[in-house]
Structure 1
Amino acid sequence: MDENPPAPPMRRRPGWLAPSGLIALTLVPMAAGSSRLVQLGTGAEVTAENARFFDSPVPVIAHIIGSTVFLLLGALQFAPSLRRRRWHRLAGRVVAPAGLVSAASGLWMAVAYDLPANSGPALMLIRIVLAPAMAAAIVVAFLAIRRGDVRVHSAWMTRAYAIGLGAGTQVLTIMPWVLLVGEPDEFAYTALMALGWAINLAVAEVVIRRRVRIGMFGPRRRPRSVATPPPTPSSTDAAHLS
């Protein structure tokens, strides 16, 4: 009798668990964005809270559409069943531009709109830093995949997605405060918003390092070199062959 029976096979995590969780995080921001588009489209009553959007609707419309496409299609890019197929490459051609639109319009809103009641210069500064950082991450990821570096491409797109998903996680950081304490003041609101982005970026780094540790992408590709012709046989070699 074999004293060392084979180990049971490792249980694989469901491939759609991560994409489903990411999509769930986007539901509240998408609902809020859809409501904002309806208000702008139907000419809802202008209030102190939404006046800035009616005065300059282009950046908020671009941000809602760009962010929705980026977050929904981006979540599907994490599905293993789609990552190795042609769909992943085709969807990426939509995800990357949508992410750039989201980042650019987010920066536009940060510098052009009046600050809401519970926001302040500190939160505006965070947004001014993160929006270009998100765009830069997408550009780095694009350049990496152009040279065939899948590992670097995946890492930087994950970081860009973490920044873009900030609104989803911020629901989880702000709502408990509202329920337990009440409406946050400027300092608390800024801290809770920053915490949402910090959580996302921390999780992104854990995911990136785990992929490297398990060798998800295999060994790094070496740069292609120009092929050299085989050496010409010398006279001595010819003599041996004759």
Structure 2
Amino acid sequence: MNDVSGENRAGRVFAPRKPGNGRAAGELSAGSAKAGWRAPAGLIALSAVPMVAGALRLGELAGGAEVTADNARFFAQPLPIVAHIFGVSVYCVLGAFQFAPGLRRRRPGWHRVAGRLLVPSGLVAALTGLWMSLFYDLPAHDGELLLVFRLVFGVAMAVALVLGFAAIRRRDVARHRAWMIRAYAIGSAAGTQVLTNVPWMLFFGMPGETPRAWLVGAGWVINLAVAERVIRARPGS
């Protein structure tokens, strides 16, 4: 039996137990678990508006809506836009869960299985985006500068996915992580582009060709800047 000082008869000293330690540790663990889901939840929320727009476009095509100057190119060749919407939606939602560290720790096989779906869906999104940029008629509210931005970032996303896949085949986890984060930043930029366009529209109305190009381009740049910060903050994780 221990005496008041915490020393028993064998001479071993026991630190007195602090009340509430178990509960505090449980609360800390629960708080960390919740914090680990903030990134996936935020990324899915960011992608919600463009995914809803994509769903409405699919409904328009499936329901035989009236053909207008804005949607005529989609009715003329629906396969690229349908594949693009499905590819982007799978890529953005599934990719968001790759940013949940607790899920990777509890289910290590999840990351690999999801990756086998993410790479092809991301490539479908990037390549169909490039195809539409090159072969669909240029929309009336777009210009050549925005076309160039779409081609540059579409190619960059496809290249990042290929480099990320090649890196993990070499067991180079750090480079794989960096390239896949960059690819996701480009692929999920549509949500950020909503945020860059809305303030302009509220204060100045619909942007012209050049302002629209820079506002859309800013979405990609912002996402890539955040991606680089994430990569450098935890380079080996």
- 1:22-58 CA-to-partner distances (Å, cap 9, x unmatched) read 0000000000000000011111111111111001111
CA distance in 2, matches of 1:42, 1:93: 33
Q: Which residue of 1 aligns with 2:48?
A: 27
SS of alignment partner, residue 99 of structure 2: coil
CA distance in 2, matches of 1:61, 1:137: 23
CA distance in 2, matches of 1:80, 1:33: 29
- 1:174-204 CA-to-partner distances (Å, cap 9, x unmatched) read 0111111100000110010011100000000
1:56 paired with 2:85, answer no
Q: Which residue of 1 aligns with 2:62?
A: 41
SS of alignment partner, residue 183 of structure 1: coil
Match of 2:93 among 49, 62, 72: 72
CA distance in 1, matches of 2:129, 2:97: 23
TM-score (norm 1): 0.82
Structure 1 residue 98 displacement after superposition: 0.2
Q: CA RMSD in A?
A: 1.6
CA distance in 1, matches of 2:118, 2:81: 18
1:107 paired with 2:130, answer yes
Structure 1 residue 146 displacement after superposition: 1.1
Mapping of residues 83-162 of structure 1, within 5 Å: 83-84=104-105, 85-162=108-185
Q: Which residue of 1 aligns with 2:209?
A: 186
SS of alignment partner, residue 77 of structure 1: helix
CA distance in 2, matches of 1:116, 1:174: 17
Q: Which residue of 2 aligns with 1:171?
A: 194
Structure 1 residue 147 displacement after superposition: 1.4
Structure 1 residue 134 displacement after superposition: 0.5
Unaligned runs of 5+ in 1: 1-8, 218-242
Match of 1:17 among 14, 17, 38: 38
Structure 1 residue 88 displacement after superposition: 1.0
Structure 1 residue 81 displacement after superposition: 1.5
CA distance in 2, matches of 1:99, 1:49: 26
Amino acid at match of 2:89: T
CA distance in 1, matches of 2:98, 2:149: 27
Structure 1 residue 82 displacement after superposition: 2.1
- 1:142-186 CA-to-partner distances (Å, cap 9, x unmatched) read 111111111111100000001101111000000111111100000
Q: Which residue of 2 aligns with 1:6?
A: none
Structure 1 residue 83 displacement after superposition: 2.5
Unaligned runs of 5+ in 2: 1-24
CA distance in 2, matches of 1:171, 1:127: 16
